Amino acid sequence: MNKNHYVAIMAGGIGSRFWPMSRSSYPKQFLDILDTGKTLIQATFDRFALFIPKENIFVVTSEEYEEIVQRQIPSIKKENILSEPSRKNTAPCIAYISFKLNQVNPDAALICAPADHLILDETGFKKVCLEALDFVSKHKALITLGIKPTYPNTGYGYIQFEQQPASDNVYKVKTFTEKPNTELAKTFLASGEFLWNAGIFVWQIKNIVSAFRNHLPEMAEVFDAEKDQFNTPAEKEAIERIYPQCTNISIDYGIMEKADNVYIIPSSFGWSDLGTWNSAYENMDRDYLGNAVAGEHVMVIDATKCMVHASNDKLLVLQGLDDFIIVDTKDILLICKKEKEQEIKEYVAEVKRNKGEKYL
């Protein structure tokens, strides 16, 4: 393992599309959504620990989740859990770990990845990550991992890339497109020039810090002003001064879409961003009637193609349902047609309006 290789696992989101299992107090990255015996963040940490020194793996999360991270990943050092005082999207999160690492190891190379993605082929994932780390060690490049699309998904961002490789399996990025409509997604797929945006990034610390100074100079300025506080007891107070001054912006909008040194590696390692109950359904074992069931005491009678998630201390008997999402928690029961899953966020907003914060 290379002592200059680092990982930042981004774990600050609230996963509202997995409501009611995912709550603001205990979101999806800390849940065993797929009934595998590991939570999503545990699986992510273990995946990286196969080829990155454990002491070089950081988790950037919201202050309120710090104890959950420590509990779920007992082998992580407390100082490797970076707490954000507020949610400001991925750019401030990545700036935090980047400016901090730049103070202690300017030769560091960093992988930034979400805590809640599914990756089935861990060997393939490791191979692509090491290819990316090798490329950024030799070029002033910002790399994003792209997933070869298998169908015209309208829930993912797409990245267009040049057809001539810059190096083995590494291509220059041409354009970024946010979630397209179905017709545009079909066009992207047919062209063979587009990949799904996995939201996993690889770069040398000095190059991402330079990119912040070039493309998000106001944000870089506030981190630079406090850089001497990083890796000292004064770091927490410094971050509390920095975050209110940061724009709420993603790394894609803030840097990747503006920079001219962005490259992509086309990848196939069994990836899903697990953004919705349908994506969980697609990645779970299903019975002969197409039902995916998580829960020890679920009885399914004359039901087909349902996604069922229930606690292990309650008997659930389901009859006659077709193509539904059923999620049963101790205080909420959600029954929703699978085709309406994109509206779950709206249902959560409606619950908040009518019932307050209690069920969020």
Q: Are 271 and 282 in contact (CB under 8 A)?
A: no
Tell me if the pTM is above 0.85.
Answer: yes
- pLDDT tens for residues 45-72? 999 999 999 999 999 999 999 999 999 9
* In the chain, domain spans: 5-272, 277-355
pLDDT at 320: 95
**Signed CA dihedral, 282, 283, 286, 292: sign only:** negative
CATH 3.90.550.10 fits 5-272, yes or no: yes
pLDDT in tens, 77-135: 999 999 999 999 999 999 999 999 999 999 999 999 999 999 999 999 999 999 999 99
Which 8-state DSSP code applies to residue 85? Answer: S
The pairing of strands 298-301 and 307-310 is unpaired
Cβ neighbours of residue 189 under 8 Å, at least 6 residues apart? 149, 151, 152
Position 28: which residue type? K
Smallest Cα–Cα separation from 224: which of 112, 103, 141?
103
Cα–Cα distance measured from residue 210 to residue 340, given in angstroms and rounded to the nearest whole number: 43
- Neighbouring C-beta atoms of residue 213, cutoff 10 Å: 14
Cis peptide before 266 (omega within 30 of 0): no
For residue range 2-44, list pLDDT tens digits in order.
999 999 999 988 878 889 999 988 999 999 988 889 999 999 9
Confidence (pLDDT) at 273: 84
